[in-house]
Structure 1
């Protein structure tokens, strides 16, 4: 073997790293915490006797899930002390993620916000089963439940999510068209353009984390949200620019003030109109929107 040969444990971990990161991120909604989970997974993985391990991928997913569950429970306390609404950390993703409808939907800000309403175990079971198609037996080993209990949890979590997720499958083109109208409205400050693209019952969730100014509660209704943006734009002392991008596999806007990234604005679109706006301004959550993050469900 050469001097630079990689040992089997490292080789397997590297081969599945993108999958493990995606699992951890979907469970946590935080790239920074997902990276910490991967580090903890690695420290445990290198101590495993690989001889008896029949499915190394499943074993790695199991370790990652357990570490993510531990992290979820500590994050719950952080979120309770968080200033204003908490949104998932947006990730800049490659175009091929958007072309994978299953992955794009599972990563969408809209769905990930719904996942926040599940218990840690429900979220783990839902993510592993619905997004990654992990078997009930493997999930049971990961979450410390019986396969029968996991089936019940999966059913309950699916019902909960289905009652809250968008009911329509919207094409990327339809979302991009709505986003173009939103971009034009923000750049011109034209309230009528905003009113035309926003659904009457649209909801804005803004995350400033107590660091940047943002609405401390969700804002509901096209007229209220139009006033929110038009008023904010009128107070700007810097030049606002907006550019389309792909965040979590879905079209979004990156907003810049005098060339510096100020926010990510992701949307949910139904019937060609915007029904959800996810406005992330917390600077700590904008560190993963300048280079693409590789994600995979396999």
Structure 2
């Protein structure tokens, strides 16, 4: 006899929860929904060509639940989607700057009584692209030279035993530095030589490799694709370490994967004794840029501690080539 009442009571609670927890959803579906307007950028800088200095067209996101209209106060500045509704990615269309100086235009995004203004500055800066063709190789390293230090083929053998710590193996550390490489966390001293590749990390210690500076011309830049192979360590329990890998710009200009980020998303290698190919695109890198491939679990040395646990991994076949500009 109590079950119908219980079901009715639960149904009423569910309906009340929908009303109190989801008012925005109900409001947006109504004819008299309040206008909402969000613009992702308010300032944009373009070079003389009308592009970003990475060679790509500039864009920003508009979120307008009841639609938007974009107007420009400059004849040289327009957008590809002057009207729209919902969440829309808007691309800027700017003519080359053939004036004698820097110029500024404004885009006004309006939705009902709401408005946002985007200021667009166009300089006389020339295209910084270094002119190399797509596919041009800036860096290629298979680490075969480290094999002379007698480290085992851990990945091939399916065993973590036999890797040689470069901090205590002959002049391995010196050769590591002469190759233009840096240990991301040298205090931990957990960089190991294997049979033509590196093992990194130990219990409660993580690290990564900082790659050499690229040979890019003075005041020039490039968009590049970084590719490499990783493998997790698998201990005596037979379970792969829960390591993920992050690419980070640790020094100099550049962004990751086409946005303003300096770090990539965490990438997880296959959970077996085999190599996993990985790839990340980097934009606007120069000769002053330094790129690191590290465990995501590695903290910022001297600032934050890395995670505790087992996050050991292997790295091989690093390559950086010219990527398409758009």
Task: Give the alignment's TM-score, normalised by structure 1.
Answer: 0.28
Task: Give the structure with higher Rg (CA).
Answer: 2
Instruction: Point out the structure with the larger strand share.
Output: 2
Task: Pick 1 or 2: higher relative contact order, CA cutoff 8 A, min separation 6.
Answer: 1
Task: Give the alignment's TM-score, normalised by structure 2.
Answer: 0.26
Instruction: Point out the structure with the larger helix share.
Output: 1
